[in-house]
Structure 1
Amino acid sequence: MHAFDVFRQYERNHWELSDIDFTAIDRSEVRPEYITLAKSAVMGECNSIAATHGFFNEFVDDYDFSAFACIWGYQELQHHYAFKAWLNALEVEVDQRPVDAMRAPYAPGSTPSATLATNIISELTVNHIYREVAQWVKEPVLNDILSRASRDEAGHAREFIHYTRTRLARLPHELPSVLETLYVYTSEARIKHPVGLFKDSLVQGVAEETIDTGFEIFLEKVAADGELERLHRKVRGAFGSMTGLELDTGAQIRRALAEAIA
């Protein structure tokens, strides 16, 4: 069972909240943008509860993936608490109301493979953004949290790719839904994330920061010219490697989708 191998690797390599020295925060290096970024990350990472619930509902016939979802959910909750603990150490209040508002599970995707594909995209996106933001952030403890979380997200993306590839080998008729998901998330010149697409409406008028707030800071303050296209190329390349198809452009994705449904 693949999740058993993931679990053993997790036991060898995982970090704990107690590994982070919150007393080492350099308050002289804390900028208002960092506070906003951390609050945005809190809002993004808290959705692991809703997502894990959704996974259990949708993959009721897949014990292996469900076991992995437990490991994934723990790590994502750890990220949520790490960013929250950094804010707490600075006496910054974190409003629990918008977190509570997003508790409901995600609805199933058009196919289970589409759900897995959506999570590949979200993990690759957050991995990229956390890594780039970590290089920009000068406060050392927040830098450490971002770096740890980025590495975790890379591992999560790898495992979601594994489960998608394995499922498509058994159920190739789900390929069109995977290609459609890729096109939806990479066809526009903006960052799309499932939390922003499906959950932000639940916290309108309640949350000052959402995950999209952090993405906006990334694009305005951190991203180099062409950064969004580099991110989209990374995502398309992962899907191309996973499916064996040429998916480097929107046109190629549309062509592959048309052939898959023909």
Structure 2
Amino acid sequence: MLYPELFKQLEAVRWNMDTDIAWDQFDASKLSDEQAMTIKMNAITEWAALPATEMFLRDNREDSDFSAFMSVWFFEEQKHSLVLMEYLRRFRPDLVPTEQELHEIRFEFDPAPALETLMLHFCGEVRLNHWYRRAAEWHTEPVIKQIYETLAKDEARHGGAYLRYMKRAMAKFGDEARAAFAKVGVLMASARRTAQALHPTNLHVNEKLFPRDTIQSRLPNPEWLEHWLSQQIQFDAVWETKVVERILHNMSLLMERSFASVQELNRFRKEVTARVAAAAATAGGAAPGAQPA
């Protein structure tokens, strides 16, 4: 099991909201209304760990190890929302999200392949790490800068934990896992070709609720994310390239094969998908009672 080891690792570096955040360094002159509103939106977005955890537990019912790890991930992600709300409570109480605004983004996600979802959230942690690093640079008020730097480090650690579970899945499921990870990796490393931000909070996850079936679509301002990225923290091509490079680097380590570009990863995806299809065809054509190789 990975959960006991991951629990100890994350427990050893866990930060304390009361003592590790330099609340007394707050400088009101360096916090604009525009900046404060983005903190509210991120506080609500982080609350999405609640429906995401419900999804993970439902779709990984047969995996008690990973489900137990969700106790750690859920706690730390909800603390992200909490520390942002605490910042607002102390310094901009008029912008603290209401319980209804938080509850609005708790809705059921459609079932999805567990392996693809795992890879999707690994990439999401990589992307959010870079978003928060950029947000820390954009903000001018020292306390919120420290908070975003702290959250960015958490997201990086979460990505590392997901990577451990991905390695375990490859040992267990082989090419099926490789195909799932490569498929989602190609998608999530191709953000420059899409009109929307490729992150779990901005993907459609409940067909019956369309068009309000993404986390972002249920925020008080559904257009906030794209504006925050492009106009405020200016998450430009240079930063997007950093995300792509991290995804490709980790895919290279995971697959033990170098991927210098999304195109190379896509070629690998086609190769492994073909192997999975061939194996399925062979198994399907086996004589009754025969055991496929």
TM-score, length of structure 2 as denominator length:
0.81
Q: How many residues align?
A: 260
Tell me the SS of whatever aligns to 2:163: helix
The answer for the alignment partner of 1:176 in structure 2 is 179
| Counterpart Cα distance in 2 of 1:249 and 1:55 | 30
1:184-226 residue CA offsets vs partner (Å, 9 max, x unmatched): 222231531111113682478863345x724532333433552
Q: Whose helix proportion is higher, 1 or 2? A: 1
Identify which of 106, 109, 120 aligns with 2:109. 106
Deviates most, 116-125 or 133-142:
133-142
Q: Tell me, which stretches of 5 or more residues in structure 2 are unaligned?
A: 206-210, 275-293
The answer for the alignment partner of 2:58 in structure 1 is 57
The answer to whether the 8 Å contact 2:105/2:219 transfers is no
What amino acid does structure 2 have at the position aligned with 1:216?
Answer: H
What amino acid does structure 2 have at the position aligned with 1:196?
Answer: N
Change in Cα spacing, 1:70 to 1:127, as seen in structure 2 (3 Å) is: same
The alignment-based identity, stated in percent, is: 20
Structure with higher RCO (Cα < 8 A, 6+ apart): 1
Larger-gyration structure (1/2): 2
The answer to whether the 8 Å contact 2:101/2:220 transfers is no
The answer for the alignment partner of 1:152 in structure 2 is 154
Deviates most, 20-29 or 148-157:
20-29
Q: Tell me, which stretches of 5 or more residues in structure 1 are unaligned?
A: none
What amino acid does structure 2 have at the position aligned with 1:254?
Answer: N
Q: Deviation of residue 260 (structure 1)?
A: 0.7
Change in Cα spacing, 1:32 to 1:230, as seen in structure 2 (3 Å) is: same
Q: Deviation of residue 143 (structure 1)?
A: 1.0
| Counterpart Cα distance in 1 of 2:8 and 2:177 | 30
* Equivalences for residues 132-211 of structure 1 within 5 A: 132-172=134-174, 173-189=176-192, 191-198=197-204, 201-202=212-213, 207-209=219-221
The answer to whether the 8 Å contact 1:245/1:256 transfers is no
What amino acid does structure 1 have at the position aligned with 2:247?
Answer: V
The answer to whether the 8 Å contact 1:126/1:153 transfers is yes
1:107-155 residue CA offsets vs partner (Å, 9 max, x unmatched): 3323x22111011111001111111221232211111111111111010
1:152-204 residue CA offsets vs partner (Å, 9 max, x unmatched): 10100000011011111110123212111112222231531111113682478
Q: Deviation of residue 16 (structure 1)?
A: 2.1
Change in Cα spacing, 1:198 to 1:43, as seen in structure 2 (3 Å) is: farther
What amino acid does structure 2 have at the position aligned with 1:153?
Answer: E
TM-score, length of structure 1 as denominator length:
0.89
